[in-house]
Amino acid sequence: MNQSARWKYLLILTTILLSIIFVIPNFYGESPAIQIMPIKAGEKIDTSILQSIEKVLEKSEIQNSGLILENFRIKVKLKTAEDQLKAKGLIQKALGSQYVVALNLISNSPNWLSNMGALPMYLGLDLRGGVHFLMQVDLSKALEKTTASYLSQFRTALRKEKIGYFDATKNNDVMQIKFKSKVELNKGKNIIRGINNNFVFKEIFVNDEIILKVIISEQTKKSITEFAIKQNLETLNNRVNELGVAEPLIQQQGLDRIVIQLPGVQDTAKAKEILGRTATLEMRMVNEDNFNQDIFKEGNEDQIPVNSEIFPDRFGNNILVRKEVILTGERITNAGPGVDQQSGQSVVSITLDAKGASIFKQVTRENINKRMALLLIEKNVTEVVTAPVIKAEIGAGRVQITGMANTQEATDIALLLRAGSLAAPMEIIEERTVGPSMGKENISRGVQSTLWGFVAIITMMAIYYMVFGVISVITLSVNLFFLVALLSALQATLTLPGLAAIALTLGMAIDSSVLINERIRDEIRNGNTPQASISMGYKMAWGTILDSNITTMIAGLALFMFGSGPIKGFAVVLVLGILTSMFSAIFVSRAIVNYVYGNKRQKSKLSIGEIFKVDNN
Amino acid sequence: MEIFRVKKDIPFMKYSKLSAVISTTVFILAVFFILIRGLNLGVDFTGGTMMEVSYPEAANIDDIRQTLRDIDIENAQVQNFGTEEDVLIRLPIREDLSIAELSEQVSTALKLSNNLMEVNRVESVGSQVGDELYENGALAVLFVFIGIMLYLTMRFEWRFAIAAIIANMHDVIIILGFFAFFQWEFNLTVLAAVLAVLGYSVNESVVVFDRVRENFRKMRKTAVSEVINNAITRTMSRTIMTHLSTQTVVISMLIFGGEILHNFALALTIGILFGIYSSIMVGCPIAMWLGTNQTNLAIFNPERKKENKEL
């Protein structure tokens, strides 16, 4: 009666074999490596780059233990940390600023294992050191910006078609145009519809005023905000690339948040500076109408024309700039520092995308000899970077911005522009930094806790339950083995609380074995034969094991759903630990017991420790 | 080896009135401390910045305070952390500075005054995130309570579900009471421990209740209190072994786990100890007083009955 079906042994053996494959990579350790990526995120890298890297390494006689070409990056495995630093410098020099060369660590496990997807456990930031940022994206600003840009398109289109209107204003994301007549309102409406078909219109006729309200539909709003997040993600990707981090994680969280994890980053100040730059760029026309210079004086704010605003430039001069936004930084595809051939001044050259180029062409054609201002908005402070006079129509989407103080400034601004300006401002609302030495310390703390807890438990079990205790210990070890295999296979993030959860689930997993062993003792105590006791013991314990594990599972799921970061790590391990412990307690321990005792028909005594017989009850 | 060599069932339920007085007193005390002293919430929930820095030799706390005052950072809490070399700095949220800027200013200033200083850990949480974490924590606790209630009602009956939940609440409130009384820091990791205790201590109740149900089927004529006494006595050995194992691991965490896991392990310790007590001396009496008996439970599971006949 206590013989396991052959398929059960097979299942267990297969599981153990699979687990071995996934556990092995954890024991191989890591090698220093460097990683090469193109500076623009998402750009492919090819064999020609691979060859030039090989050449550099050959020339400087740096030995490598393998070059790996992936879609978006090349990894070079090196022998020593010294070589790593040397190679990084040389390769960076050889490839130039179009490529990012970052330090990394690569697992030493053989390639056939990695190819099977068997990788070491994925360590969280608290275990390997690094920075975690949570950024809040201000989507209302993205909507505002889009509204402003629509409004400027309306004005241009209405003017072009010579449709009379008094003014076009906006309030948050509702635009309002006052027309001169109903006929013109209808014509205007058609034109606006041509710009975007998704607007909702509302006509208001009061006190002789003919007003068209243009409301952005919910659907459009959604796509605007989605686009803004996407744009910001891309920008962050580019910025992180500038930082040269080997394995960054940049991910949207919820509707309006972005998580950034930068393992191994030590210079947090620089990381924050580059990521936290909330600069957005706008090009607008300078208002050069005749007006009283008094408007620049304090207290005269009411005299500023409604369609304009005053901003200071870098020298402290005030400039009156129109509210209409011609272009925003989203349209910039590339930017670089340079020197103007004629004047010798430092300049920044910008390349615009197709739509940006066509808008820019039209605006420059219509505004020759007028001034255009380049505004940089950083943390709600707007500054006029430069406000040059348009000398000619600029068609190809190549723009040169003059007025840089020196090369350094030109480089900085170019970097800022190239890294992309954001579609919506962002702010860091959570920061968690763990130093690299602290990460190592945390690993040893977690491992030590688990190890000594484990040793104590197995000693106790073996003494208390004898052979059945040893079986429980084997079961527990197999459980630990399964858990590590599962964590490696799923590449779930292992955090310090996760390590604590491994220790804790071990403590809890033993409960199943204890329940079974106590039940078997009970049955023997009641005078059952050893074989019947084993069978009943398992049967009776099963219900209890299931109930108690499910309640813990409920807690684990709650932590997973509502927890974040390290707590989620705890929850993942807890839930997986419950699953593996149930599997090992039911299948593995039963199989071992059956293997040891199942064949002996008349086993007179089970080695399950001394059993105290009770006379009554 | 067998720890519990009891001939007769221990009459636990005889002491149920006494234990009710004890439990109520401890419970009220815990609630009192939570209300009066409040929990010492970590930056995870309040928002703010916590920095752990270390120096090669014993850190001069006064110097650090002065350095912070020099850069106009008031209300900073500076204290040693674990060892003389390690220092914990806590900074409240500033309206005029983003959390990212604040931690950077502090580390720059400290580095300037002693360039051997190292920043080991920074945890900065904006007030908005803090509120959310707090809210999510409360939601998680609620979810666990309801989930466990539903499950136990399904598997057993409502009397057991209510008894288990009250026993559980008892444990959680007492953990919180300890944290309030000693003003130990209550952060996300401790909350995780509290939730783990919720699941774990229900385990305890489930094991006893399971035995009570089984006994109901076997001991048709026996008084409810004696059935419960028997169930507790018979599961005693398992209770001790299991908790000993889990507690061993938790002690190992207390010893080796370092500061981050310290309060986590503390919460678990309190939870495990009171979990044993409450499942026996809170859960069972309540189920009894709610009127659980053979007629509620014994006939539900025909399959089990068959098993018993086979015996």
Query: How many whole angstroms separate alpha carbon A280 and alpha carbon A384?
Result: 12
Which of B206, B227, B303, B305 to substitute to test the interface with A, most A CBs within 10 Å?
Answer: B206
Q: Is residue B88 part of a domain?
A: yes
Q: Is residue B195 part of a domain?
A: yes
Residues 229-258 of B with CB under 8 A from A: 230, 234-235, 237-238, 241-242, 244-253, 255-258
pLDDT reported for residue B37: 93
Domain identity same for B155 and B262: yes
Q: What CATH number is associated with residue B166?
A: 1.20.1640.10
The answer, for B221 touching chain A at a CB cutoff of 8 Å, is: no
Stretch A48-58: mean pLDDT, rounded? 87
Is residue A276 scored above 70 in pLDDT? Answer: no
Domain identity same for B90 and B110: yes
Final residue belonging to a domain, choices B106, B125, B144: B125
Is residue A361 scored above 60 in pLDDT? Answer: yes
CA distance to partner chain B, nearest, from residue A240 (Å): 17
Final residue belonging to a domain, choices B75, B90, B125: B125
Domain count along chain B: 2
Domain identity same for B112 and B136: no
Q: Verify whether the Cβ–Cβ distance B1 to A609 is below 8 Å.
A: yes
Q: Are A239 and A275 in contact (CB under 8 A)?
A: yes
Q: Is residue B2 part of a domain?
A: no
pLDDT reported for residue A613: 60
Residues 61-120 of B with CB under 8 A from A: 98-100, 103-104, 107-108, 118-120
Among B152, B235, B244, the residue with its CB nearest the CB of A460 is B244
pLDDT reported for residue B306: 45
Is residue A615 scored above 80 in pLDDT? Answer: no
Q: Is residue B284 part of a domain?
A: yes
Among A435, A557, A564, the residue with its CB nearest the CB of B121 is A435
Domain identity same for B87 and B146: no
Complex ipTM: 0.85
CA torsion, points B140, B145, B151, B157, in degrees to nearest 10? -170
Is residue A579 scored above 90 in pLDDT? Answer: yes
Q: Verify whether the Cβ–Cβ distance A432 to B122 is below 8 Å.
A: yes
H or E element, residue B112:
helix B99-113
Contacts of B95 in chain A (CB under 8 A): none
pLDDT reported for residue A299: 67
A179 or B310, greater pLDDT = A179
pLDDT reported for residue B310: 41
Contacts of B202 in chain A (CB under 8 A): 548, 551-552
Q: Is residue B17 part of a domain?
A: yes
Amino acid (1-letter code) at residue B303: E
Query: How many whole angstroms separate alpha carbon A152 and alpha carbon A195?
Result: 12
Which of B229, B238, B254, B259 to substitute to test the interface with A, most A CBs within 10 Å?
Answer: B238
pTM listed for this prediction: 0.78
pLDDT reported for residue B307: 45
Stretch A173-185: mean pLDDT, rounded? 86
Domain identity same for B164 and B120: no
Q: Is residue B168 part of a domain?
A: yes
Q: Is residue B4 part of a domain?
A: no
Contacts of B248 in chain A (CB under 8 A): 453, 456-457, 460, 507
Taking one residue from A and the other from B, the number of pairs with CB-CB distance under 8 angstroms is 254
Is residue A265 scored above 90 in pLDDT? Answer: no
Q: Domain of B54?
A: 48-125
pLDDT reported for residue A572: 92
Domain identity same for B160 and B300: yes
Q: Tell me the per-residue pLDDT of A107-119, one tens digit each, with 9 for 90 and over.
A: 888 888 888 888 8
Among A133, A453, A463, the residue with its CB nearest the CB of B252 is A453
- How long, in residues, is chain A? 617
Domain identity same for B180 and B296: yes
H or E element, residue A339:
strand A332-339
pLDDT reported for residue A397: 78
Which of A133, A449, A523, A528 to substitute to test the interface with B, most B CBs within 10 Å?
Answer: A449
Q: Tell me the per-residue pLDDT of A404-424, one tens digit each, with 9 for 90 and over.
A: 777 767 776 776 666 556 777
The answer, for B198 touching chain A at a CB cutoff of 8 Å, is: yes
Q: Are A26 and A121 in contact (CB under 8 A)?
A: yes
pLDDT reported for residue B1: 55
Q: Is residue B6 part of a domain?
A: no
SS3 letters across A465-499: HHHHHHHHHHHHHHHHHHHHHHHHHHCCEECHHHH
pLDDT reported for residue A396: 77
Q: Tell me the per-residue pLDDT of A547-560, one tens digit each, with 9 for 90 and over.
A: 888 888 888 888 88
Which of A554, A607, A611 to substitute to test the interface with B, most B CBs within 10 Å?
Answer: A554
Query: How many whole angstroms separate alpha carbon A36 and alpha carbon A76?
Result: 8
Tens-binned pLDDT, residue by residue, of chain B (311 aa): 566 666 678 888 888 889 999 999 999 999 999 999 999 998 888 889 999 999 998 888 998 999 999 888 888 899 988 788 899 999 988 888 888 888 888 988 998 888 888 888 899 998 888 888 889 888 988 888 888 888 888 888 888 899 988 998 899 999 999 999 999 999 888 988 888 888 788 888 888 888 888 888 888 888 888 999 999 988 888 888 888 888 999 999 999 988 888 999 999 999 988 888 888 888 889 988 988 888 776 445 544 444 444 44
pLDDT reported for residue B25: 94
Q: What CATH number is associated with residue B77?
A: 3.30.70.3400
Q: Verify whether the Cβ–Cβ distance B192 to A544 is below 8 Å.
A: no
> Of A104-108, A167-171, B157-161, which one has max mean pLDDT?
B157-161
Q: Verify whether the Cβ–Cβ distance A556 to B199 is below 8 Å.
A: yes
- State the Rg of chain A over Cα: 34
Which of B83, B256, B306 to substitute to test the interface with A, most A CBs within 10 Å?
Answer: B256
Determine what percent of chain A is predicted with pLDDT higher than 90: 10
pLDDT reported for residue B308: 45
Domain identity same for B187 and B295: yes
For chain A, domains (ranges, CATH) are 6-23+436-597 (1.20.1640.10), 30-108 (3.30.70.260), 140-221 (3.30.70.990), 278-418 (3.30.1360.200)
Domain identity same for B84 and B137: no
DSSP A612: P
Write the CB contacts of A419 (distance below 8 Å, at least 6 apart in sequence).
A235, A238, A239, A242, A274, A277
Q: Verify whether the Cβ–Cβ distance A508 to B200 is below 8 Å.
A: yes
A144 pLDDT band (50/70/90 cuts)?
Answer: confident
B48 or A235, greater pLDDT = B48
Q: Kindly report the average pLDDT of chain A as a whole number.
A: 83
Amino acid (1-letter code) at residue A473: V
CA distance to partner chain B, nearest, from residue A538 (Å): 13
Is A304 in a helix, a strand, or coil? coil
Domain identity same for B100 and B196: no
Among B129, B144, B256, the residue with its CB nearest the CB of A555 is B144
Stretch A175-188: mean pLDDT, rounded? 87
Instruction: Find the closest chain B residue to A518 by CA distance.
Output: B238
Q: Are A122 and A493 in contact (CB under 8 A)?
A: yes
Domain identity same for B120 and B134: no
Stretch A314-321: mean pLDDT, rounded? 82
Q: Verify whether the Cβ–Cβ distance A547 to B155 is below 8 Å.
A: yes
Copy the structure tokens of residue B3: 């720890």
Final residue belonging to a domain, choices B99, B125, B151: B125
H or E element, residue A221:
helix A218-243
Range with the poorest average pLDDT among A69-73, A127-131, A575-579, B17-21: A69-73
pLDDT reported for residue A612: 62
Domain identity same for B249 and B121: no
pLDDT reported for residue B175: 95
